[in-house]
């Protein structure tokens, strides 16, 4: 069985790499896009993900995560006080899933979206595709290897 690579976006002021580092692991909840949810459904324990800070200046890759658990029900969909509450989702047939991710380290420097656009095509790295707003994207193995070389070792 091969390990898959992903890119997962979060706003650093909401939940950034430093939050994950402090917590050690987290539920990646609040995903309310069906395509992103389906990507999450195809994850396996042991898969790795690049942590990408979005909606900041500059956006880019800042760290690594590892998938610890898959197929979890996203609890935020049932909490009326949560901004990700989904009144149409029912406990007996939940719409939204999540995974548990572990902190895998931070890179010494952010690899910006502008730099990624210089180095990769949209086929090589979907995050560089114009207009791409998905918060979870697959990363081809060859592109993941290139990213790891560019980013260098992680700091724990």
Our count of domains for the chain comes to 1
Mean pLDDT of 89-93: 94
> In the predicted model, is pLDDT for residue 108 greater than 80?
yes
Average pLDDT over residues 131-143: 95
Write out the residue range of the structural domain in which residue 75 sits: 5-155
Place 132 in a pLDDT band, splitting at 50, 70 and 90.
confident
Strand 154-155 vs strand 136-139: parallel, antiparallel, or unpaired?
unpaired
Residue 2: the pLDDT is 82
Bridge partners, 9 (sequence order): 52
* Cβ neighbours, 10 Å, residue 15: 17
pTM, two decimals, is 0.95
Residue range 7-66, pLDDT digits in tens? 999 999 999 999 999 999 999 999 999 999 999 999 999 999 999 999 999 999 999 999
* Domain containing residue 24: CATH number: 3.10.590.10
């Amino acid at each position: 069985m091969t390990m898959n690579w992903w890119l997962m976006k979060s706003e650093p002021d909401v939940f950034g790499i430093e939050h994950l580092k402090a917590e050690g692991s987290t539920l990646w909840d609040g995903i309310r896009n069906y395509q992103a949810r389906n990507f999450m459904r195809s994850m396996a324990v042991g898969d790795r993900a690049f942590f990408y800070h979005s909606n900041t200046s500059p956006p880019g890759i800042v760290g690594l995560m590892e998938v610890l658990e898959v197929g979890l029900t996203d609890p935020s969909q049932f909490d009326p006080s949560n901004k990700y509450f989904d009144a149409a989702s029912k406990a007996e047939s939940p719409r939204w899933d999540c995974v548990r991710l572990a902190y895998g380290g931070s890179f010494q420097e952010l690899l910006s979206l502008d730099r990624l656009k210089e180095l990769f095509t949209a086929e090589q790295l979907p995050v560089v595709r114009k207009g791409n707003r998905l918060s979870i994207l697959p990363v081809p193995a060859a592109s993941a290897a290139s990213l790891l070389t560019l980013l260098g070792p992680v700091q724990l």
